[in-house]
Amino acid sequence: MPKVTSGGVSLFYEDVGAGPAVLLSHSWQCDGRQWPQVLALVEGGYRVLNLDNRGPGRSGPHRQRFTMWEMAEDLVGVLDAAHVDDAVVVGLSVGGFAAIRAALRHQPRVRALVLADTAAGPAA
């Protein structure tokens, strides 16, 4: 499976399917296996980039503190490594915090946001 280095952290992601890209960013203390919808997206004609966010899962190991802005750069790093110009970014919980920041900082790269169980306030 593909890996990319972002901010000194090795990040694992899956890259499956073909078509418009969808980038998945999961909730805290989970990993990309949290998304059972991957197969349905691929069958629907999408290319799915399923990231294991820094911290838990198959990325890392990472034991230093990090910011949501750094997680946002991780999302863009996956797009770069996969040679994807833009994607629909789906964020769940903390994955949504990162997705919002990626959209703010890299607006042309985020075609649309799908946010679930997340927040957009200053503490998020």
Domains of the chain: 3-116 (3.40.50.1820)
pLDDT band with cut points at 50, 70 and 90 for residue 18: very high
**Rounded mean pLDDT, 65-91:** 95
pTM over cut 0.75? yes
Residue linked to tokens 């919980």: 93
CA–CA separation, 96 and 82 (whole Å): 21
CA–CA separation, 82 and 13 (whole Å): 10
Specify the pLDDT at position 122: 67
Q: Taking every pair of C-alpha atoms in the chain, what is the biggest distance, in angstroms?
A: 38
Specify the pLDDT at position 1: 66
CA–CA separation, 86 and 107 (whole Å): 9
Specify the pLDDT at position 79: 98
Does the structure show a pLDDT above 90 at 42? yes
CA–CA separation, 20 and 103 (whole Å): 17
Taking only Cα atoms into account, the Rg of the chain, rounded to an integer number of angstroms, comes to 13
- Predicted confidence (pLDDT) per residue in 55-76, tens digit: 777 786 666 788 899 999 999 9
